[in-house]
Structures are given as structure tokens and as C-alpha cells.
Structure 1
């Protein structure tokens, strides 16, 4: 007797198929791929200059330079991803629930002998599987292309850093995906939920740093009358306020993972810098530096999904 697949697996497979065949996912996939290809082209074009620049402490990490290098014509790939990755998560989640409710298919699903939470779990599991597959495939493509073009052997440390950066990107997308699913439960119209999530993304990306800078100029004392310790304390406070934004957390984590010479994400005194050796950090220490940022993005994602789960389980669907 053949084994009957679980309802969750059936719904997850159906969601993955629908997402892959959708036009909006195809367009965003092409946008991410062409951005990646352009960044790779610029990185490979400048690879000789970067490798011969002995003043750069990261010049020996050839494959990391493919993701962080640039010639000024366009930002590095990890900077572009801080703008493009949220759009990918938003596009896959803003109509996850309300479209099913408006079409009446959600009522038919609830009428079947399946658990209600399986529906919501399939809605978030499927996009995460797709994005993880996409970005890990791009990372492997970058490593393979670099091996074919340069012939330089990749170091295990570089592989770990690239995989860590890719996982951080998936977590970052997961936050906006959870937020989009939450708004798709709150609002019945997909256009309203999409505009709400895009408004939050624009606020954190564009307006939030501007508001923080305006508040700093209005309330911060004159730096000329502050001691070094007081100035460092104010700078640390400003950085902590900026890190409420998910894009700031992602930028900090991506920069530290892709640039081994980054030793701290906060201000450092001259006493701290005096004994420091300008050498790349091991992977373990870089992960320790960015663990607060990664755990913060995970916490934001879990909080959004927990609220979405609570609202969905209490929603009257048959009305």
C-alpha cells in the first residue's frame, strides 16, 4: 500500500510550484541574478588590482573580494542585496492569506481534515526553501566561476564566510516575509497589505536614518565639549538606535562576515587600537561579533510570525 503524504508536504509542494511559476517571482529572480552577474563581472575585472593591493588587509581573500569589490560604477553585491532582498520576501508573502480568503479557496482548505496551522506553516516554509535554494545556488555559482576564471584554490575560511553570509541573507528575507504574511492576515486586500509592508521597508531604509540624524543634531551636546569616553558613549548609543532597523543589522552582519579585517562594529578608543594587530579575524571571532545582529533578525522574524500565527488561528474564515 503506497504511503500517503502528509497534508503539510502536499501544501508546501503546491506553494513552491505556484511561487516558481508566478511572474513577479520570475522578474525579481532575474533582477537578483543580473545584479549578481554585474557584481561578479566588476569583481573579476578588478581582481588583479585588488590582489596586488597589499595595503588592503583582505587582499588575500580573493573570493570574498568578488562580493565586496567594486569600481565605483555600482555598489558591492551585499549592499545591493540590502535593498533587493526585502522586495523578494515581500513579493512572496503580501498576498499569502488574503488572496486565498477572497477567492474562497481558504474555506475549502479549512473544510478538509487538516490542521489550520499547517496552512500558515506551508505559506512561510515554501518561500524560505525557495530563497535558500536560490542564494545558496548563487554562492556555489560564484565559487565555481571564480575557480574556472582565476584557477585560485578557495580557502575553507572563505567558504564558511560565504555560506554564513548566504544564511544571513535568508534570515533577513525571512523577516520581511513574516511581516508580509502578518499584513496579509490583517488586511483583506492584497494591495493594502503590499503598500503597508513597502511603507515599513521604505521607512527603515530611507527615513529612519534621517530621523535619527536629525534627532542627534537637535539633542546631542557639542562634541567639542565632550571627553573621549563621553563621545564614544554617544556614538555607541546612536549605533544602537540605528540597529533597530533590520537593514542596519543585515549590513553590519554582512560586512563583518565578508571583510575579515573588521574587528568591531562600534567605536574603539586609541588604547584599544594601540595593541591590535592589523590581521584578519578567524571565522569564529567574526561570528561572535555578528551574533547579536543575527539573533536580532531571528527574534524580529519569530515575533512577526508568532503574531501572524495568533491572528490566523483566531480568525473566523467561514464568515
Structure 2
């Protein structure tokens, strides 16, 4: 009863601050407030901030050496170097995001619906003059606002810190690439958020939905690549006996299967966005490489290269949200 009273007191106080607000905006405001104050978000946000500061320290310590390398076509992109260079002590920041981002999305969504039902607040909330879809939309929107604010703040902190320490102004193309990287990070975390919300709708116990989401994350992060390598080696012939064209086809098959993993799509897209000299994400023949001059490409060309990966992440996010929306709208809610 205490949790029910606290929940509705939060809704009432949020509604009192803006009497003319719609029920959807009131629920979004209340969910944002609850998530920002929750210990799991504070712990994960603090962990991401610590890894960000560690990566920035390593990058700034090696920035002079990286920009002095004449053989590197990306040496002039100082702010992109802050997100990519490392001396081996710590991975770059985008590598940390590919690992910690799913945990953030899972933590924000694994108990979005089933915790409301187990606490008894879902039945009382649905008894109010509120559309059913407003609840799940508010859950997703509030979490997306929190994630977007976190990553945008980190990006602005990186730009401001780089400007303060180096005194070099940021180029417009670098700013666009960093903003695209931020948006891509939000989409990547939103996929895991929607997956965890889907499991929260599917399972009635929060522990079951959390363990299932973590198991899916571990499978795609650790075991999927091992399984693909074992299957490829068992089915396809030995690469040492193949010609150059056959080896390229062999590698394309492996990459095709690996790109079913969201983290692989995110890694491919961020590598291309943050390293302007990357022109292809697959193996190239000697004829294709002949006469090619290592040079950065435009933002538009980089976006064209990574568009299949970006569209794949967006499609997976939309599918997970559509399934959770469908299951929740058809779900029978009773005491």
C-alpha cells in the first residue's frame, strides 16, 4: 500500500505543477524523475562517466603523438581522435559504450511494466481516464529522454574539455560526426531498452525479465561469435586452399552472420563515423585498392557507408517496441 500511495502521490504532484498538462506528459515527467533518482541509474551513469573520463585522459595524453603521425590521414581531426585513440591501457570510449550501453538500457526497462503490476499500481492506473498505450509510450519516452540527455551531455563535455585544454576550435564536420555518433549511441541503447520492456511485458516477474535480458546480451556479446566461427569452420572449406575471390566471399559470409549482432552494427557504424578515412566495412580486392589514396571522406559519404548498419539498428528497435506495444495492448490486466 505504501508503494501504491507513493506512486499516485508522485503522479498527483507532477500533475499539480502543470494543471493543463496531458496525462501522457505527466506520466513522462514522473517517470523521468523516478529514473534519475534511482540508484541503478546513478550507478550505471557514474560508471559510464568514469570510463568516459578515463578514456578522455588517455586520449589527451596521446593526442600530440597521434596528430604528429604524418601517415595517418585522420590526424587533423583532433576531436574525433579524442574518441578513438588509445595507448592500450584503456579502450576508446565507443568500445565502452558498446559494452555498457546494453546494461544501461536493460536497467531502465526490465521492470517497466511487471513491477507496476506486482505493486498493484497498474490496475489502479488503468482505472483512471488514461489511454492504455499512454503508459507504455511514457515509459519508453522517459527512458529515451534520460539516455539522450546523458550521451549529449558527455559529448558536450568532451567538446568543451578539448576546447579548454587544446585551444583548437572544432570543425563543423567534426561536430556533425560527433552528433551522429551521439544519436547512434542513443539508438543502440534504445534497442536494448525496448528489448527489456518487451521482456517486462512478457514476463510477470522482474527477476525473470532481467535475467532473460542479461542472458540475451551475454549470448550476443560472448557466445554468438564463437558459435559462428565454429559453424563456419565446419561447413566452409579451409581458407588456405581458396583463391583471392573465394577468400573475399568467405569473409563476406562471416561478416553477414556477425552483423546480426547489434553490437557489431554499432561498432561498424561508429568506426566509420569517427574515422573519416574508412571507406568500406568489408574486404576489398587488390583491383579495388589499386590507385586508392588514403584520405578522409565527407560526412555524407560516411553516412552512406554506414546506412545499412544504422537502418538495421533502427529497424530492430522499432520491431521490439512494436511487439511490446502489441502484447501490452492485448494483455489482460486484473488484480
- Is 1:176 paired with 2:192? yes
- Residue in 2 aligned with 1:161? 177
Choose the corresponding residue for 1:53, options 51, 69, 77: 69
- Residue in 1 aligned with 2:273? 257
- Is 1:66 paired with 2:66? no
Pairing 1:304-315 to 2, within 5 Å after superposition:
304-315=320-331
CA distance in 1, matches of 2:323, 2:240: 46
- Is 1:4 paired with 2:24? no
Shift of 1:227: 2.1
Structure 1 residues 92-149: Cα deviation after superposition (integer angstroms, max 9, x where no partner): 0000000000001011110011110000000100011111011011101100110010
Shift of 1:275: 2.4
CA distance in 1, matches of 2:66, 2:320: 42
Greater CA deviation, 48-57 or 175-184? 48-57
Shift of 1:14: 0.4
CA distance in 1, matches of 2:319, 2:299: 29
- Residue in 1 aligned with 2:301? 285
Structure 2 spans left out of the alignment, 5+ residues: 1-17
Query: Over aligned residues, Cα RMSD in angstroms?
Result: 1.0
Structure 1 residues 26-70: Cα deviation after superposition (integer angstroms, max 9, x where no partner): 000100001000011111111111111111111111111111111
CA distance in 1, matches of 2:165, 2:192: 36
Which structure 1 residue ranges, 4+ long, deviate > 6 Å from structure 2?
none
Shift of 1:3: 6.0
Superposition TM-score, scaled by structure 1 size: 0.98
- Residue in 2 aligned with 1:122? 138
CA distance in 1, matches of 2:129, 2:57: 52
- Residue in 2 aligned with 1:14? 30
Superposition TM-score, scaled by structure 2 size: 0.93
- Residue in 2 aligned with 1:242? 258
Choose the corresponding residue for 2:288, options 265, 272, 275: 272
CA distance in 2, matches of 1:3, 1:81: 39
CA distance in 2, matches of 1:156, 1:36: 23
Shift of 1:228: 1.6
Pairing 1:221-232 to 2, within 5 Å after superposition:
221-232=237-248
- Residue in 2 aligned with 1:297? 313
CA distance in 2, matches of 1:231, 1:12: 52
Figure out how many residues of one structure are paired with residues of the other and give that number. 318
Shift of 1:223: 2.0
- Is 1:149 paired with 2:154? no
SS in 1 for 2:295: coil
CA distance in 2, matches of 1:70, 1:3: 52
Structure 1 residues 158-184: Cα deviation after superposition (integer angstroms, max 9, x where no partner): 001100011000000000000000000
- Residue in 1 aligned with 2:148? 132
- Is 1:83 paired with 2:96? no
